[in-house]
Structure 1
Amino acid sequence: MKNYLNYQIEDFVQDPYFRRWVLGKLPPEDRFWEIWQTTHPEREELIEKAKSMVIALQINPTNENSEEIKNAIETILANTVDKKPLPFYTRNKWAMAASVALLLGFAGYWYLSQKMVMPTATTETPAIEAIDQKEINIGKTAKTITLSDGSQVILEGNSSLQIGQDFGQNKREVYLSGEAFFQVTKNADKPFLVYSGKVVTKVLGTSFRIKAYEQDADVSVDVRTGKVTVFKQSDKTQTEPLRSEEIILTPNQQAVFVKKEDKFVKTLVEKPAVLNKENARNRFEFSETPIIEVLSTIEELYGVKIIYDTDRLKDCNLTGSLNDGSFYDKLTIVCETIQATYKVMDGQVVIDGRGCR
């Protein structure tokens, strides 16, 4: 989260989130700025000045009517006939003022487009010292970016990616604001690091998704393939996690960083996917199959650890098809068959049942 208490007028004017609020482009349910302004009355005057500047820098083209313009010109010319000409400085002062205003407007527009598009780094986000490339997606359609090492990034709408100037030399570092899916080319000698707020995601070669919109309460990292290390960076100079703070994610696992509580929660992705669909063919058909074997099959095909008491479930069997339905649907059917329950804990599934004796 940015420390808005330290912001000056120019900082607010450059902040994309603040500008969207001033211009009425935030969803109605987003009341962050109203609440923030109420809880910090000492900043009200500064906020009002920043709002005025944001509004003033907007360029709103007018709808001009050619007939009205023609009539206005004729009226002006008619009123100037047989009248003494005004001194030069009087005749031109309004034109000069209009020109200055127009120039300032275009200058402001250029300044905003050049400097304000990218989110500024905060004390919570380790800024990449030298930026070689900036990618911005302000549309609704995802944008595919191929990095110099062959890695691909699918950048979602309202998101941006910054690539370090030294990318590919000793490390591969990028900074993400928003949401993106990464397909990272494997290179054991050059780890790939994604900075998103306080969260750092470190991989060697894998595919994963990060959702880190500035206004969201959480940052999430979902792993599709391979292994990912996620940790919180509290020191700008620290790029290696402390062992007690890092979280290791495997396929179909998710790490959620709760900004308000400043901590990680490890769980499963919303829709776990089969790791290899070719291997899954005809693997979900069962006939008097021991439940332990059924659970082992689900665990293998989804790559999700399932914990249970072997002794209690050794006499349970299942006959039927689990081809249809999601990962959670399959678990529900199995548990209903043996009168058990399941819950997700720390990125694993724990099944609790009395058995079938």
Structure 2
Amino acid sequence: MNFQEYDAIDFACDESFQRYCLEEHDKDVLFWQHWISRHPEKNAVIAEARHIVELLSARQGNRLEQLKHLEDGIARYDLLQQALSGEPEPVVILREKRAPRLLKYAAVMAGIALLAGSIFFFYPRNPVPGKNVVINAGKDPRKTVVLPDGSAVVLRENSTVQLSAGFNRENRRLSLTGEAFFDVTQNAQYPFIVHTAAADIKVLGTVFNVSAYTDRQTETALFKGKVEVTPSGNHGQKIVLQPNQKLITGETMPGAVAPLDADPVNHKAKEIAWVRSRLEIENEPLEVIAGKLEKWYGIKVVFADEEVKHYRYSGTFESETILKALDALQLSYPFSFKMLNGEIIISK
């Protein structure tokens, strides 16, 4: 199989590539890491493909079913092109036809939008080129932001992150003071790195929590993937954490790996009790649910349509980020949402 001829959609339709993106199988992860390292000319295409896979996975539904919808969409696009050109209808073989790339990609992304809902991003309206961007939670118990690379961050009260100049264009580096929960998108070209006073944390996986309140102490707790922690002043020491492990580093602490502290009642990790949300909904209107989300996540939610306010939902679920909470609600009664000027806008 000649992967060098693949475009972004071809990679996104490949099940092995999907497992690599979602870290579901070590063999696929190792294969694609090796292949990508040997083909740096495909970095832009790979990044585009990974974004498609992330969109396909965002709704927590059946990924194989979503993949079928994606492939059906490509097939329908190809058939439409044939009908417009007046050519006889041949047997359709996916991934061997090459439609004009821009139009084909636009059509497929439109289909993914129906599957995955709206993806929104936080960024200042007029960022100054070459300047760092500072995001502060202020007095909100939790503040949720989505960075330009698609990574979700939940900041605890009075916590601050500062994005380095050129974030997502030249690097993915940020500094943290306080505490934050991260759900990071993958990008092999620009590793995601969190700087604190006591350590530098290089993200090799996706979901983790960092507490860095004191001047010289940082606690890193990992839930999914891997992170590599380098204590300040000791750049030769690199400690790799596995899921359900944590590491405390400080000026007088070399750092020791320990298991996460599980609550004896609900068996959930105490390290993220502050961010964990349990929504119990019993035939409630979306307007009421939105008020709960607004209060918990520290982000304003408004409605563009009156009708949507009266959509009703029932169920119980836990969610780390407001994106996943809204996606879970969409599964039973669809609506759209986007972010504009720091607010989430819900519409039909």
Structure-1-length-normalised TM-score: 0.36
Q: Which has the higher contact order (CA 8 A, sep 6+)?
A: 2
Bigger radius of gyration among the two: 1
